[in-house]
Each structure stands twice: as structure tokens, then as C-alpha cells.
């Protein structure tokens, strides 16, 4: 017997939340070892001491840490399987194509699922599964090296935060209520800020505070946009349930007299959620948070956190387009194209800067690709919109691969900060020391800058193809139903091409240095290893590489790399149908 739609939705939403709560309850009930119990202390102090997420957990055994990691992977796998099942039901026609509404029995929260929601949930769950898998090896190495010291440290706290982070990101695409959507996006901020600070370094705490302050400012702007929209809906005489996106979309005709409020809502939502999506100019939290967070967290940040905020922007874009009509849709297109190109161009000098740490370079690539996605959305049309949504998935897969692969390198070849300059040295000769990880970094880097036959090349080509097709016909009659100046559009396309060319050159330079360069320090290390290998008790090269590259660390990386290659050759039919149904939502109202 197959689960119902509501049960599938529960399997997507609840496992991560339940598992996080069970972990906390388990540690509270387990108590504190007798040797660590405070003597003659107040009952409240004893209770807080029992709360394991508020103290370092030396008493958690390796077997328990391993069990927590495996169950976290299984929980992420359950949410992915439930998502895949719901997608199959949607494209087979067993779920209505327009909407699927659920009212939760607790608190009566309206949930809303359509093809666009499922597409973003799919992106989130793919990357969350890979990040959960990688987190096990990360925690093992960090605790072995005794790097996670002090309060708020330990595997249990990390797993609790990761699962809550996963839950809040999945919650955002299913919220029908616009205030609920805002709360879900804000919840991701509160949980992820603690994850940024998890390495417990001065840099990580500074990055966490910067991330919290800047994105909270953006969230305030997004809230103002939501208030403007709700006020306009109430002034137009919409029913009390007008805070629900699905309800507003059914009454767009009544909002014709409130276009100024709808436009204000769009601009504030774009600026506010755009901060969380990593769009310029308020992207400054991005390189710090991505650069300092643990690799699994960086993969979630760059791969799906930015996309969750972009999903909120898309809902406002669809609504504003439906209310404005063909007469003023050009304003939305120009705004999105300009914001996208500005982010793309802003990323170029930072990626070309050879002094930037590679994790920061990867963060600036997120700025670039979010600009590409926004540019494709602004171009509009079936091809460009398909390419923009496809690029959401492709960027998530490729960027997660890069962060996880480079994180494995830093775990096995840790390098201290340069005290004289305050900068960080980079590992070099990775292709020789860790050949499989180095190969994955090389292929992932080529995929990230749009090299065929990888997935990002295909989605970028779709966006460019849609742009050029629109430019060719815009001088005669725009196929979008509203005019776009062919000169401005041609300049935008040229800027797009030139910026991506410079970025290609910049990343290849960084990768060549990390993968192939042989620094004096590295040569000394190689000499020591060669001398040691001549002794009878020396390890064989195969055993040495096996220690640096455990097989379980490479499995999620090879899966992501395979997806990048497969999706670069062909868009799988179920995925193509899902994206096509998502594109149709833009013109359905």
C-alpha cells in the first residue's frame, strides 16, 4: 500500500525534525557521567549540565558517534526517496498539476506544494544527503585532532543543527502563507549561524556575527515587502486568507488597482531575500560564512541555502508578473537582468585575485552563479526559464562537490594561518598527494566554469540560447508580449559572455596552483616521505593514499560527479518534465 500525498509530505518534512529532537532528548535522559557531575549544585545547574548540547561531549563513544552519523544519513535518504516518489506521482498525473494543499493538524498551518516547490525540495534533499554523508568523516577527523573544543562542540550538537537546518530549508518551499515563508527563511538564519561558528575559531565567530547581522537586515526588508503585499491585498478587498500565496494568485484581477503596492512588495522582497540569496551588493557575508564554515555546512550554504531564498524571490516574481500584465512586465525583466549581471560582474575581480583563499573563491562563484540564474529569470521565455531552473540544480551539485572535495583536502593536509600576513596558505600538489580527490577537484572545477560536457555548460547554454533568440526577435516583435530594447539586450548578452570568460580563466589559475604546484614546503615533505619509504617499516604508497583518501569519503563525491556528467549530456526525462511544469507556473496566471 502506497503512502498518501499527505504522508509523503510528512516523510519529506518531519524525519529531520524528529531526529534532531530525539538526539536532544536522548542526551538529557542519558545524564552526565558520575565523575563529571557537579557536587552540591542547584537542581537547575544540574539539569543544564545534563543538557549535552550545552557542553563538550567527551563521554560519547565512537560507536555512538558512528550510529548518529549513519542515522543522519538514513534520515536524509528517507526525505530524498519521499521527494522522488512525490515527483513521480506529479509527472504521472496522480497529483493535480496546479496545487496540492495540506492544512497541518497542529497549529493549522497551510502548506502548498506544486512543481516549483518539489523541484526546490529535490535540490535541497540531494545536497543534504551528500553533506550528511560527508559530515561523518569530518566530525571524526575534527574530534581526533581535538579541534572542536569548548562549549557548543561535539558530534551531537553538529548533527542536531544540521538536521534542523535541513528541516528549515525544506519547510520554506512548502509554506503557502507568506508570513510563514518569511519565518522559514529567517529560521534558516538562526540555525545556520551556529553552524558557521562551529569550528570555534576567531574567524568563524566573526563570520557568524557578520552573517547574522547582514542577513537579518535583508530579512527585515523582505518582511516589509510582505507587509506591503498584504496591505495591498486587504485594500483590494481580498478575503482574510489573502496572506496565502495560492489565494492571492486566484485574485490577481482584484489587485490591478493596487499595482503600486505589488511593485513595492516585489522590490523589497528582491532586496531582502536577495541578501540571503547572496546577490550583490549585500553579498559580503557570503565569502566569510562559506570560507569559515565546515565543508558540509559550506556545501549546504552554497548549494541550497541561497536557493531557498531565491525560491521566495520567484514567488514574488510570478505574482508581480501576473498583476502587472504585459504592459509593465518589462520593468521586472530589466530589474532581474540588471541585478543578475551586477552580481556576475562583481564576482570577476574577486575570483581573479590570486591572494584569495580557495574557499572564498568558491563563495564568489556562488555570487556569479546566482547572478546567472537571476539573469536567466529576467530574460524570461520558455528556454531561458528552463535553463535558469536547471542551473539551480546544476550549481548546487557542482558547488557541493567542490566544497566537499576541498574540505577533504584541508582535513588531510591541514595548513596553519600565516601569522605575518594574516592570510592563509593553500595546499599544493594535491593531485600527487590525493590523486582521486585531486581528480574530482579538477573535474568539478571544469564543470563549475561551464566546460562541456558537464551540467553547468548545458544550463548556461540554455540561458544564453534563450537570450540570443530573444535578442534576434526583439527588434521585430517581442515573443514575451512586452518590448525589450535590442541594444540593451545585446549589451547584456555581451557582458554575460565576457564576465564568464574571465571567471573561467580565474578559477583555472587557482586550481592549477592547488593541484599541480610543488612548493618548497611540499618538496621538503616529499623528501621526508621518500627517506621514510626506504626504511623497512615504511608504509607502502597505496596504504599512504588510502589513509589520506578513505573510500567512504569519496563515495558522495563520485555520486555528485556522476550527476554533473550525466546532466551535462542529457536532462533526464522525469527531471525535464518537473522543470517544464515549473516553468509553466510562470505563465499559468
In three-state secondary structure terms, 452 is: coil
- pLDDT tens digit string along 361-379? 999 999 999 999 999 999 9
- pLDDT tens digit string along 391-426? 999 999 999 999 999 998 988 876 655 544 445 577
Distances (CA, A) of 502 to 268, 337, 361, 497: 32, 19, 14, 9
Check residue 107 and give left, alpha or beta (phi > 0: left; psi -120 to 50: alpha).
left
Q: Which residues are bridge partners to 417 per DSSP?
A: 424
Question: Are the C-beta atoms of residues 439 and 431 closer than 8 Å to each other?
Answer: yes
Give 547's DSSP letter.
H
For Cα atoms 210, 291, 393, give the angle at the middle one, nearest 5 degrees: 105
Give 53's DSSP letter.
G
In three-state secondary structure terms, 102 is: strand
DSSP per residue, 523-541: HHHHHHHHHHHTSTTPPPH
Q: Which residues, in sequence order, are CB contacts of 425 under 8 Å at separation 6+?
A: 415, 416, 417, 418
Low-confidence stretches of the chain (pLDDT < 70) are 1-3, 30-59, 96-101, 103-107, 143-153, 240-242, 414-424, 474-483, 518-548, 589
What's the rounded Cα separation, in Å, for the pair 165 and 20? 10
Name the residue among 178, 160, 168, 147 with its Cα closest to residue 19.
160
What's the rounded Cα separation, in Å, for the pair 434 and 427? 11
In 203-337, which ranges are E strands?
A: none
Question: Are the C-beta atoms of residues 365 and 401 closer than 8 Å to each other?
Answer: no
What's the rounded Cα separation, in Å, for the pair 452 and 281? 31
What's the rounded Cα separation, in Å, for the pair 478 and 354? 43
Question: Are the C-beta atoms of residues 19 and 71 closer than 8 Å to each other?
Answer: yes
Check residue 148 and give left, alpha or beta (phi > 0: left; psi -120 to 50: alpha).
beta
Residue 511 in grid coordinates: 586550481
In three-state secondary structure terms, 360 is: helix
Residue 473 CB neighbour total at 10 angstroms: 15
Domain ranges for the chain, please list them: 350-415+422-589
Grid coordinates 550525466 are at which residue? 566
What's the rounded Cα separation, in Å, for the pair 439 and 430? 9
Cα radius of gyration rounded to whole Å, the chain: 25
What's the rounded Cα separation, in Å, for the pair 372 and 464? 10
What's the rounded Cα separation, in Å, for the pair 100 and 93? 12
Residue 388 in grid coordinates: 535558469
What's the rounded Cα separation, in Å, for the pair 385 and 466? 8
| pLDDT for the residue 577 | 94
Q: Which residues of 249-287 are buried (b: 16+ CB within 10 A; e: fewer)?
A: beebebbeebbebbbbbbbbbbbbbbbbbbbbebbebbb
Name the residue among 357, 363, 327, 358 with its Cα closest to residue 343.
363
| pLDDT for the residue 419 | 42
Residue 176 in grid coordinates: 503557502
Amino acid at each position: 500500500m502506497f503512502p498518501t500525498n499527505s504522508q509523503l509530505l510528512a516523510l519529506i518534512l518531519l524525519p529531520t525534525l524528529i531526529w534532531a529532537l530525539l538526539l536532544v532528548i536522548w542526551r538529557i535522559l542519558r545524564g552526565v557521567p558520575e565523575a563529571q557531575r557537579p557536587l552540591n549544585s542547584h537542581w537547575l545547574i544540574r539539569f543544564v549540565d545534563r543538557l549535552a548540547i550545552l557542553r563538550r561531549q567527551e563521554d560519547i563513544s565512537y560507536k555512538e558517534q558512528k550510529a548518529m552519523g549513519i542515522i543522519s544519513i538514513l534520515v536524509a535518504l528517507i526525505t530524498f526517496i519521499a521527494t522522488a516518489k512525490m515527483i513521480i506521482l506529479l509527472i504521472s498525473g496522480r497529483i493535480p498539476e496546479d496545487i496540492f494543499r495540506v492544512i497541518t493538524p497542529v497549529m493549522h498551518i497551510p502548506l502548498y506544494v506544486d512543481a516549483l516547490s518539489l523541484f526546490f525540495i529535490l535540490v535541497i534533499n540531494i545536497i543534504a544527503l551528500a553533506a550528511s554523508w560527508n559530515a561523518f568523516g569530518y566530525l571524526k577527523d575534527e574530534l581526533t585532532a581535538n579541534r572542536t573544543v569548548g562549549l557548543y562542540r561535539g558530534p551531537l550538537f553538529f548533527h542536531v543543527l544540521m538536521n534542523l537546518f535541513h528541516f528549515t530549508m525544506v519547510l520554506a518551499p512548502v509554506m503557502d502563507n507568506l508570513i510563514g515563508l518569511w519565518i522559514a527563511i529567517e529560521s534558516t538564519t538562526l540555525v545556520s549561524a551556529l553552524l558557521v561558528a562551529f569550528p570555534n575559531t576567531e574567524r568563524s565567530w566573526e563570520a557568524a556575527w557578520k552573517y547574522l547581522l547582514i542577513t537579518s537586515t535583508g530579512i527585515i526588508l523582505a518582511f516589509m515587502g510582505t507587509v506591503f503585499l498584504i496591505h495591498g491585498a486587504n485594500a483590494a478587498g481580498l478575503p482574510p486568507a489573502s496572506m496565502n500565496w495560492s489565494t492571492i494568485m486566484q485574485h490577481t484581477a482584484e489587485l490591478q488597482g493596487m499595482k503600486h503596492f505589488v511593485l513595492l512588495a516585489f522590490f523589497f522582497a528582491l532586496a531582502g531575500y536577495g541578501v540571503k540569496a547572496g546577490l550583490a551588493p549585500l553579498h559580503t557575508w557570503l565569502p566569510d560564512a562559506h570560507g569559515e564554515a565546515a565543508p558540509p555546512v559550506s556545501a549546504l550554504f552554497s548549494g541550497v541555502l541561497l536557493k531557498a531564498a531565491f525560491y521566495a524571490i520567484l514567488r514574488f516574481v510570478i505574482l508581480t508578473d501576473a498583476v502587472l500584465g504585459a504592459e509593465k512586465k518589462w520593468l521586472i525583466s530589466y530589474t532581474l537582468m540588471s541585478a543578475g549581471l551586477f552580481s556576475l560582474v562583481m564576482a570577476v575581480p574577486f575570483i581573479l585575485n590570486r591572494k584569495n583563499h580557495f574557499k572564498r573563491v568558491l563563495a564568489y562563484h556562488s555570487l556569479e552563479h546566482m547572478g546567472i540564474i537571476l539573469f536567466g529569470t529576467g530574460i524570461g521565455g520558455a528556454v531561458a526559464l528552463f535553463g535558469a531552473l536547471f542551473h539551480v540544480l546544476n550549481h548546487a551539485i557542482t558547488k557541493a562537490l567542490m566544497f566537499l572535495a576541498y574540505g577533504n583536502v584541508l582535513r588531510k593536509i591541514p595548513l596553519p594561518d600565516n601569522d605575518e600576513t594574516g592570510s592563509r596558505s593553500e595546499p599544493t600538489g594535491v593531485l600527487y598527494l590525493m590523486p582521486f580527490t585531486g581528480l574530482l577537484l579538477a573535474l568539478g572545477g571544469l564543470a563549475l566554469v561551464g566546460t562541456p560536457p558537464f551540467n553547468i555548460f548545458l544550463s548556461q547554454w540554455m540561458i544564453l540560447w534563450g537570450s540570443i533568440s530573444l535578442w534576434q526577435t526583439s527588434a521585430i516583435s517581442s515573443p514575451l508580449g512586452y518590448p525589450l530594447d535590442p541594444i540593451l539586450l545585446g549589451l547584456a548578452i555581451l557582458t554575460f559572455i565576457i564576465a564568464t570568460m574571465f571567471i573561467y580563466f580565474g578559477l583555472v589559475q587557482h586550481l592549477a596552483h592547488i593541484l599541480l604546484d610543488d612548493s618548497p614546503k611540499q618538496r621538503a615533505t616529499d623528501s621526508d616521505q621518500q627517506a621514510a619509504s626506504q626504511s623497512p617499516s615504511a608504509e607502502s604508497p597505496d596504504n599512504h593514499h588510502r589513509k589520506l583518501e578513505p573510500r567512504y569519503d569519496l563515495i558522495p563525491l563520485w555520486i555528485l560527479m556522476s550527476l554533473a556528467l550525466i546532466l551535462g549530456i542529457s536532462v533526464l526525462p522525469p527531471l525535464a518534465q518537473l522543470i517544464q511544469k515549473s516553468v509553466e507556473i510562470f505563465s499559468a496566471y
